[in-house]
Every structure is written in structure tokens, then in C-alpha cells.
Amino acid sequence: MSALPVPRAAKSAHGTLRSARSRTLILILGIIILVLLAALSLFVGSGRLSVAQTWAALTGGQVDATGIIVRDYRVPRTILALIVGAGLGASGALIQAITRNPLADPGILGVNAGSYLCVVIGAAFFGAGGTLGQVWWALGGALVTSVAVYLIGTAGRHGASPVQLVLTGVALGAIFTGISSAITLLTPEAFDKLRFWAAGSLQGRQMDTVIAVAPFLVLGLLIALTLSSSLNALALGDEVARSLGTRVALLRAVSIIVITVLCGASTAAVGPIGFLGLMAPHAVRSLVGPDQRWVIPLSMIGAPIIFLAADMIGRVLVQSELPVGIVTAFLGAPILIWLVRRKEAKGL
Amino acid sequence: MNTPTLRASGERVVRVRGLSLRIHRRSFWVGLACLIVALGAAGYSLTIGDLPLSLGDVWAALTGHADPGTTRIVLDWRLPRVLMALFGGIALAMSGAVFQTLTGNPLGSPDIIGFNTGAYTGALLSMLVIGGGSTGTTVGALIGGTATGALVYLLALRHGLHGYRLIVIGIGVSAMLGAINSYLMITVKLEAAITAQVWGAGSLNTIRWIDLTPTILITLICLPPLLALWRQAGMLGLGVETASGRGVNVKLLRVALLVLGVVLTAAVTAVAGPIAFVALVAPQIALRLCRGPGIPLLPTAFLGAALLVISDLVARTLLAPVQLPVGVVTVVLGGGYLVWMLISRLRKA
């Protein structure tokens, strides 16, 4: 697996040695920021607890309201933000790599909408409730959508241009959202259950949610890490990658499954979150360049940083808590607009 | 296969008269066919419902010879809805034709550039926050939609409106507004949220005569100037220099078209909510059916009417007695068409 990138690294040994050190520095810095944010996230939130109270609840074992707020709500919420953020960041990096499309994002491409539709179907017609019940539906929806988007995106001789792929995703997303809204209108109970989830929120998620999705997310993240060096070859084009010994079809298939698992599990846990998978890889690439061996792991660190920060902004900005999906949309959509305005010069 | 190509290229030599004559003839038949389909579907639509009526009953009611009960069902309950579908379809399709001609882009429709999402945000704000009635919703939708459309245009207007930038910027702005919308949805009670969602899906279920009149009037008022400007509008596709060279005041024409396009969409959205994809799809289908160089206005309008009447028919009957919002049907049909269009373009490339 790792035989391929070595010549590349060796060829430019002079340049990369120094930047490899600075990249490692960025990696360490990112981890430190992430740990600090995660710790901070335990101390911020509704409930108005003092730092001392929170600390006592974390270290002690009291069973009063403080202990419940901190241990049963804030701790799972933080863990969930970490793994879901990492999952969405990695899936964004992967989807951008296999489609060679800088605008790709599971939210923009309709994968989250597909997940949502299946969860709605599950909730409305099969009585699926709770994260454990939703997760399989969400996975199924994510799989169908990502395969569909991918097939359409690679139809024709040259495949879709970045914007064509985005349009396909938007069209599919619109169809799925339309069907979802029809179903939820017919079954008000399902609508009531799902409208909070549909906004994309970490609020009120407890340990059972974490346990339900953690296996999928952790497994997906691990596989994503092993794919990174092969994805570097794919960036050179299918034919070059093939001649370098990469099994392109297999790589794409595995990547799609990983994207599906990561997006589906994330959507099941916190609802559809847009733009996180778009933002994080872009931010990372602007720091370390296009090498996937750095982009993918750093996206797994960068995305939860953004996600945790967005969640905390949502918690303190409005008294009743702003769902994190709304904050990420407000952070990410301007970035999409900026990317398109900037890329115009290159004929996008 | 070769003959039509030869004929078309032969006719391109005698550009002005020969081509326009031929286009007129084909467009005429296509337009007429669409009109007949639209009216036929509308007539059929009047006969179905909780109380099935025969076409004869409907005709009697329309001409004033039926018993009071039937007259009431047809004239007060079913006719407003069917008329709204007819005129709403015409207005949306013409607005789509305007936007697509203006941007030179088959995807430059009010759905894609965020007008509808903005209208939804405006309507939600007035519905849920200010608590206004139907007037408040209408005004909110108008302001929200127009402001969003203007914002998207301004953001995209750096080197002209061509290309996909307009659309992706529209998607980005829509995403932010969509986030606001879903936040508004969770801050209110369930009943209010459901009402809002029905409006947001685009529905003709509750149309009454009083809602309908402005839409019909606006459509009829916008039609003559559009018809008068349409020949000039077609020249926009030839480029600014060529169009100016032929005596077109490009700036003025663009502003006039923009105003007409926005007013037409707003006239429907304000009453029925954002009905997605009719504006996107109707001009493209009409263009393909008529095989002309530009989007034909009247065939597009009648095709839009047929599309919306049929979609509403499907929305009413698919899961009867439950009535779906018509926007759900158009989004599935139109979205499917958009996907198909993208795929077939990729195949050709």
C-alpha cells in the first residue's frame, strides 16, 4: 500500500523534509486545539454551572442535577461532536478525492438528504425510533444516494464537471427532500419527532446515541486512513493510477462504502449536517497541500475543531440553543460562494 | 437522420424569414397541443373529487344550468384551484423562460437561484414570528424572494451571468436560508410548523377566488409586454455587441425582463408557496419540442400550464383522500428531469 508514495517523497526530499516537520507541527497543534476545545465544551452550555461545579461533577460521583447534566449530557455530546466531526471531515476529504471535485460535500451532494429520506420512511412506516433504530435506515439511504451520485458523476467519457456533479446532487437532494416532506406531512407524529433532528443538532444526545454510532464511525475512520496513499495515486488520473498498480475500481468502491458508513452514521446521530465536509478539507489543503496522507488525517482533526466550535457558538449565541447544523451552514455556505467566485478565473 | 440537419442548415442561410416562418409553424402546433392538453386536464380535474361529476354536470355548472349544490362544488371549490394551476403554470413557465434567456443558462431558473427559498424564509418569518395572515405571508414571500434573488445576482454578477457560478452561489445562499427556515420550524408549535410546511412545499389545496384574482391579473398584464419584447430577448443570446448592433437597448431590455420575471414568479409563490421546478423544466421541454433557436414563449407558457394542472391532478388523486402539496409532485418530476438532462448531456460529451 505504502510503496507508491515513497518515490514521490524521495524525489522532493529537500523540500518536504522541512515542510514535513511543519506539517507534524500542525498535526500536533491541531490535536492540542481539539483537546482544549473538547475540554472547554464540557464547561459551556445551558444549565449555568460554574467551573468548580462542573469539575466536581466530572471527578466525583454525585447523582444530583449537576452530575446528570455534565455526565449524561455534556460528556456524550462532546464525544459525539468529536467522532461525528471527524467522520464528516474524512468523508468530505474522501468524496473530494474520488470525484476529483473541490466542491464535493456529502451535504451538497444529497447524501444526507438520502439518509434523511430513509430515516423518515423508517419512522413513518416502520416505527423506527431512537438512534439505534435510525442508524440502519440512515446507512441504507446514504449508500443508495452516494452510489447514484457517483454513477451519474462518472457517466460519459470525461465524467461530470465539479458543478455538474453538484447540480446532480442538488437535484437528487431536492427530490429526496420533497418526498420526505410529503411523508412527514402525511404522518404528523413522524414530522414532530423528526423536525428537531432535521435541523442537525447535538442537543440532548446521550450515551446510547454515542454507543449506537461509534463502532461505524471508528471503523470508517480507520479504513479512511489506510486509503490515503492510494488516493494520492488516483489524483493523477485513473490511467496513471492503474499503471502505478492501484486497483482503481476497488479503491473507489471501498471509498464509497466508507463515505456511506461515515455519513450515514453521522446523519443518524445528529441529523443532516451540511458543509462540514466541504470546509475542513479545504482549510487543510490550504495548509498542507494536496497530499492525501496529510489531508485525510488532518481533516479528521480540523472538522471536529470546526464542529465543536460551531456547537459552542450555537449554545452561547441564543438562549434556547441554535442547532449546530444551522451554524455550520452559516459558516460553510459563504465558503462555497467564495470558492466559486474565486475559481471562476479558472473556468469552473 | 440526415435530412432534417440538411434542411435546418439550409434554412439557416435565409436566416430571418425562412427560419422564423418555420419555427412559427412548429411552435404553433406544439403550443396548440399543450393548450389542448392543459384544458383537457383542467376539465377532467373539475370532474374528480369527493363527489365525482360527469363532464356534462361540470359544463352545466359552468354555464349556470346545474343545481345549486353542483354549481357550488364546481365554481366555488374546484374551479379556483384548477384556474390557479393553469395561470400559475403559465406564470411560472414564462418566468423561467425569462430567467433562462436572461442568463443564457438552462438552469437559470428562480428555483435554482434561491428565489423560492428566500420567499419561504420571508413567508415563515411573517407567519411564525409576526403572526400575519395571508396578506402578511404574501408580503413576506415577495420581500424575501426578491431580496434573495437580488443578492444572488449581485454576488454572481462579476463577469456576467453566464456559466454555473450563478447556480452554485444560488445553492450556497439557499443553504443558508434553508438553515434559517429549519430553525424557524423548530422554534414554533407543531400545528404552526405543519401549516408552514404545507405552504413551503407549494400547495394549491386552499386556493380561493380571492387569492386567485391577483395571479390571473398579473399574468395577463405581463403577457403583452413579454410577447412584444420576446424577439429582442432572443437576440441577447447572440451577445451584447450583436444585439446592440441590431438596435436593441440591452440594458433597458435586461431590466424590463428581470422585473417581469420576478413579478411573474412572485405572483405565484406569494399565493401558493414555492412550487419547484416548473420554471426550470417547462422552457427546456418547450425548446426541445419546438426545435427552435431560442425558447418559445407561448408554447412554454401552455406547457407550464399543462404541467401544473397535471401535477395538481396527481397530487390530488395519488394518495386520495389525502391531498399532497403540488410542489411535492413537481419537485419529483422536475428534479427527475434535471437529473436526466444532466446525464444525457454527460453521455453526449
Q: How many CB atoms lie under 10 A from the CB of residue B267?
A: 25
Q: Which residues of B touch A274 (CB under 8 A)?
A: 175, 179
Closest CA to A220 of A185, A280, A261: A261
Residue A314's closest chain B neighbor by CA? B183
Indicate the residue of B158, B179, B328 with minimum beta-carbon distance to A178: B328
Residue A347's closest chain B neighbor by CA? B163
Q: Which residues of A touch B338 (CB under 8 A)?
A: 167, 171
Give the tens place of pLDDT for each residue, B217-261. Answer: 989 999 999 988 888 888 877 777 777 777 778 888 888 888 888
Q: What is the largest CA-CA distance in chain B?
A: 65
- B135 shares contact with chain A (CB less than 8 Å): no
pLDDT of residue A181: 80
The whole-angstrom separation of Cα B97 and Cα B31 is 14
pLDDT of residue B327: 86
pLDDT of residue A97: 87
pTM of the model: 0.77
Residue to mutate among A125, A282, A331, A337, with most B CBs inside 10 A, is A337
CB contact under 8 A, A182 and B167: no
What is the least distance, in Å, from the CA of B41 to any CA of chain A?
23
- B255 shares contact with chain A (CB less than 8 Å): no
Q: Give the residue extent of every domain in chain B.
A: 2-348
Q: Which three cell numbers stand for residue B202?
A: 407549494
| Angle at alpha carbon of residue A14, lines to A12 and A20, rounded to 5° | 85
Distance (Å) of CA B97 to CA A127, A328, B287? 44, 35, 10
The whole-angstrom separation of Cα B120 and Cα B182 is 11
Q: Which residues of A touch B343 (CB under 8 A)?
A: 152, 155
User: A72-346: which CATH number, 1.10.3470.10, 3.40.50.620, 3.40.50.2300, 3.40.50.720?
Assistant: 1.10.3470.10
Higher-pLDDT residue of B202 and A346 is B202
CB contact under 8 A, B338 and A167: yes
Q: Which amino acid is at B220?
A: L
Q: Which residues of A touch B184 (CB under 8 A)?
A: none
CB pairs under 8 A between A and B: 155
In the 3-class helix/strand/coil scheme, how is chain A assigned residue by residue?
CCCCHHHHHHHCHHHHHHHHHHHHHHHHHHHHHHHHHHHHHHHCCCCCCCHHHHHHHHHCCCCCHHHHHHHHHHHHHHHHHHHHHHHHHHHHHHHHHHHCCCCCCCCCCCHHHHHHHHHHHHHHHCCCCHHHHHHHHHHHHHHHHHHHHHHHHCCCCCCCCHHHHHHHHHHHHHHHHHHHHHHHHHCHHHHHHHHHHHCCCCCCCCHHHHHHHHHHHHHHHHHHHHHHHHHHHHCCCHHHHHHCCCCHHHHHHHHHHHHHHHHHHHHHHHCCCCCHHHHHHHHHHHHHCCCHHHHHHHHHHHHHHHHHHHHHHHHHHCCCCCCHHHHHHHHHHHHHHHHHHHHHHHCC
Indicate if the alpha-carbon torsion angle B221, B223, B224, B225 is positive or negative: positive
CB contact under 8 A, B201 and A326: no
CB B113 within 8 A of CB B99: yes
Q: Which residues of A touch B194 (CB under 8 A)?
A: 185, 188, 191
- B159 shares contact with chain A (CB less than 8 Å): yes
**Burial degree of A335 (CB within 10 A; 0-12, 13-18, 19+):** middle
Q: Which three cell numbers stand for residue B264?
A: 411573474
* pLDDT over 60 at A11, yes or no: no
CB contact under 8 A, B347 and A181: no
The whole-angstrom separation of Cα A57 and Cα A53 is 6
- Please, which residues have CB within 8 angstroms of residue B139's CB and are 6 or more apart in sequence? B122, B126, B132, B270
Q: How many residues are there in chain B?
A: 349
Superfamily of domain B2-348: ABC transporter involved in vitamin B12 uptake, BtuC (1.10.3470.10)
What is the least distance, in Å, from the CA of A19 to any CA of chain B?
34
Q: Which three cell numbers stand for residue B126?
A: 411573517
pLDDT of residue B163: 58
Higher-pLDDT residue of A255 and A108 is A255
* pLDDT over 60 at A348, yes or no: no
Residue linked to cell 446528570: A68
The whole-angstrom separation of Cα A319 and Cα A131 is 26
Closest CA to A107 of A338, A335, A313, A343: A335
Q: Which residues of A touch B155 (CB under 8 A)?
A: 337, 341
Q: Which amino acid is at B271?
A: V
* pLDDT over 70 at A347, yes or no: no
Distance, C-alpha A64 to centroid of its chain: 35
Q: Which three cell numbers stand for residue B77?
A: 371549490
Residue linked to cell 394542472: B309
pLDDT of residue A167: 78
Residue B160's closest chain A neighbor by CA? A344
CB contact under 8 A, A188 and B179: no
CB contact under 8 A, A340 and B159: no
Closest CA to B99 of B327, B342, B277: B277
Q: Is the peptide bond before B299 cis (omega within 30 degrees of 0)?
A: no
**Complex confidence, ipTM:** 0.73
- B340 shares contact with chain A (CB less than 8 Å): no
Indicate the residue of A152, A329, A336 with minimum beta-carbon distance to B342: A152
CB A308 within 8 A of CB A270: no
CB contact under 8 A, A171 and B338: yes
pLDDT of residue A2: 38
The whole-angstrom separation of Cα B104 and Cα B293 is 12
CB B279 within 8 A of CB B75: no
Q: Which residues of A touch B327 (CB under 8 A)?
A: 178
CB A117 within 8 A of CB A174: no
The whole-angstrom separation of Cα B145 and Cα B120 is 8
DSSP H helices, chain B, are 2-13, 20-47, 55-63, 68-71, 79-103, 115-124, 134-156, 165-186, 190-201, 209-235, 240-245, 250-272, 278-290, 297-317, 326-348
What is the least distance, in Å, from the CA of A89 to any CA of chain B?
19
CB contact under 8 A, A178 and B346: no
CB A331 within 8 A of CB A279: yes
Provide the 3-class DSSP secondary structure of residue B69: helix
* pLDDT over 90 at A185, yes or no: no
pLDDT-based confidence at residue A159 (cuts at 50, 70, 90): low
Closest CA to B281 of B270, B260, B295: B295
pLDDT-based confidence at residue A158 (cuts at 50, 70, 90): low
State the average pLDDT for chain A: 80
Residue A183's closest chain B neighbor by CA? B324
Mean pLDDT of each 10-residue bin along chain B, 349 residues long: 36 43 69 91 85 82 81 84 93 92 79 81 82 74 85 74 71 85 79 78 81 88 90 78 78 85 85 85 88 84 94 86 84 86 76
The whole-angstrom separation of Cα A202 and Cα A75 is 11
Residue to mutate among B176, B191, B338, with most A CBs inside 10 A, is B176
Residue A337's closest chain B neighbor by CA? B169
Provide the 3-class DSSP secondary structure of residue B135: helix
Closest CA to B93 of B256, B265, B240: B265
Q: Which residues of B touch A325 (CB under 8 A)?
A: 179, 182
* pLDDT over 90 at A84, yes or no: yes
Give the tens place of pLDDT for each residue, B23-46. Answer: 567 788 888 899 999 999 998 888
Q: Which residues of B touch A163 (CB under 8 A)?
A: 164, 167-168
Give the tens place of pLDDT for each residue, A307-327. Answer: 999 988 888 887 777 888 888
